[in-house]
A and B are shown apart, each in its own frame.
Chain A
Amino acid sequence: MEIKVLKNIMKRNEDLAGLNREIFDKHGIVTVNIMSSPGAGKTTILEKAIPILRKDLNLAIIEGDLMTSRDAERIKRQQVPVVQINTEGGCHLDANMINLSLNELDLADIDLIIIENVGNLVCPGTYDLGEHFKLVVLSVAEGDDKPAKYPLMFQESRACILNKIDLLPYSNFDLTTFNEDIHNLNPAMEIFHTAAFSGEGLEQWCSWLKDQVRQENYGKNDLTQEQRLK
């Protein structure tokens, strides 16, 4: 007999992502999932952004890595709660890993959780973690063709950080091609230019991120905007 199923293959992950979202919303936490290829500069961006964001928000970071806790060690120096997830070879984070890592955080005290996904432009796009929105980081050294080659990730993200912008004069990265592809894929996408190593452009990105947290929280819980965003 034929049984009509019509169920998402990733149902188990989606159910858990939904559960994560409920937990975040219950605690008034906004969660961001940052994705990029390895070496685009996610950790350096966080290192430089944390001191700016910390002025107004209580932060926690979830660090996804195949191996080592090097990134988590770097983040720990910024004096924010950090949970390391080692996927032991797995190429992405899934909702279950996030769910387990929430046990290690004091959720009552957090406004914003930033999830640094495993460096990979393909797989993380398929896994809903329960985040409120996604961000993608691309570095100039990777080339302007990446949005065209990995469209899903750029289509689904709310913003793109183009990092290592200081390398522009030394590369053949074509900003026009990049901007056109991004615009065609996702016209609403915000683009930020940063050089995380020197801190260039991070103030703008952080101020946008704070705005997003404010908007996500607006009307969601009893706390006023001012209480949430001190």
Chain B
Amino acid sequence: MHEIAIVDNLITVVDDQVKEHQLEKVHRVHLVVGQLTGVVEDVLRFCWQVSAEGTPWEGAQLTVDQKAAVALCADCNVEYELKEQCFACPHCGGAIKSLVTGKELYIDYIEGD
């Protein structure tokens, strides 16, 4: 989808952390990405590598923790994983009250010195 724009935003947060903690080198950036965001991990990593050239995070590993899409049922209040093209609760057939996970797009931690 729009990985280069996401990486552009990601760099702003990483750069803030580098300055705040006076890091000379970043080794790893670990992200949490929800399934519903439509972010393609390989493309994200490619954009990251290209845009990291000449920065303290050049060569840093970009690791991703993919979060499944989980919904809370409006009728029986049970949490269930959303399967492809089926959004009704598998237990009672109810509709989604709210999404529990699946929309995440955040940096969990950074490793660096």
Residue ranges of A at the interface with B (Cβ–Cβ < 8 Å)? 1-13, 90-92, 94, 122-123, 126, 145, 148-149, 151-152, 155, 180-181, 183-187
A121 to chain B, nearest CB (A): 10
Residue ranges of B at the interface with A (Cβ–Cβ < 8 Å)? 1-2, 5-6, 9-10, 12-13, 17, 21, 31, 36-38, 69, 74, 82, 85-88, 95-97, 99, 103, 105-113
With the chains together, A184 CA to B83 CA distance in Å? 12
With the chains together, A115 CA to B16 CA distance in Å? 31
B6 contacts A9, C-beta separation under 8 Å:
yes
Contact of A149 among B2, B85, B105 (CB under 8 A): B85
Determine the residue in chain A with the shortest Cβ distance to B74: A187
With the chains together, A149 CA to B10 CA distance in Å? 27
Contact of B109 among A2, A11, A185 (CB under 8 A): A2
Evaluate whether A152 and B38 lie within 8 angstroms (CB atoms) in the complex, with A5-B107, A91-B1 already known. yes
B97 to chain A, nearest CB (A): 8
B17 contacts A3, C-beta separation under 8 Å:
yes
5 pairs of residues in contact across A and B, judged by CB atoms under 8 Å: A5-B108, A6-B107, A122-B38, A126-B105, A152-B36
A1 to chain B, nearest CB (A): 7
A7 contacts B85, C-beta separation under 8 Å:
no
Evaluate whether A10 and B87 lie within 8 angstroms (CB atoms) in the complex, with A91-B1, A155-B96, A155-B99 already known. no
A2 contacts B106, C-beta separation under 8 Å:
no
